[in-house]
Homo-oligomer: A and B are copies of this chain.
Amino acid sequence: MPVHILLIDDDANIRASLGMVLRQEGYTVSEAGSGEEALNSFHLHPADVVLVDLMLPGVDGFEVTRQLRRSSDVPVIVVSARTDTHDIVAGLEAGADDYLTKPVMAKELSARIRALMRRAMSTSREGPVICVGDLEIRPDAGTVHRGGVELALTRTEFRLLCELASRPGSVMDRPQLLNRVWGYDYFGDTRLVDVHIGRLRAKVERDPSRPEVVVTVRGLGYKLQGL
């Protein structure tokens, strides 16, 4: 799941250069040139991090921050040309988590984003949940639920399932699975994967004799039936 950043600045050049830096870091980026645009955009498609300039036409950066805070805990970083302590304090008081002054160093910006996300994640109550079909996989809790009941998977089964779930719908062959689940660097033939797939099915499938979730692709490997 890519991390999404909303970038708010009225200067298209700055948006372009910051955007490029962020995209290179692997983030997806959407841009807004005004406060109104930003708030609308955020409502439609909430971001994981917001970068906001203070000087915006219309609704300024302070106000954008306050509005965001009203409905969201999203991490907000102010990026502004204004270096005055008064502005910094006002930005943070408005609800921002950090304040950077232009010109920003790319490395510093991304380090600060990482630090902030780390902090924001660590306090989030619920870990991520991966849903495949009627399965709910919680890598964090190490549990799999189906219809509210917890399935008792072993560690290997769980890792196998997670590995398959990391790319639902696409086939993974045996060497690949051996590598990623067992860490083996192994070619020859072993039925290891098959056996564990079988054990996994016994717990995961409604009717293990007719698999609907963990599907065999003959001659290739296995895949998770996306949906």
- Interfacial residues, chain A to chain B (CB-CB below 8 A): 73, 75, 85-86, 88-89, 92-93, 96-98, 105, 107-108, 111-112, 114-116, 119-120, 122-125, 127, 140-142, 154-155, 169-171, 217-220, 223
Q: How many copies of this chain does one complex carry?
A: 2
B155 touches A219 (CB 8 A): yes
Question: 8 tightest CB-CB pairs across the interface, nearest first?
Answer: A155-B219, A89-B111, A92-B111, A92-B115, A123-B124, A123-B123, A142-B171, A85-B105
Contacts of A89 in B (CB 8 A): 107-108, 111
Find chain B residues with CB under 8 A from A141 CB.
169-171, 223
Contact B92 A114 (CB under 8 A): yes
Interchain CB contact under 8 A, B88 and A108: yes
For the complex, what is the distance from the CA of A119 to the CA of B73, rounded to whole Å?
Answer: 8
Contact B123 A125 (CB under 8 A): yes
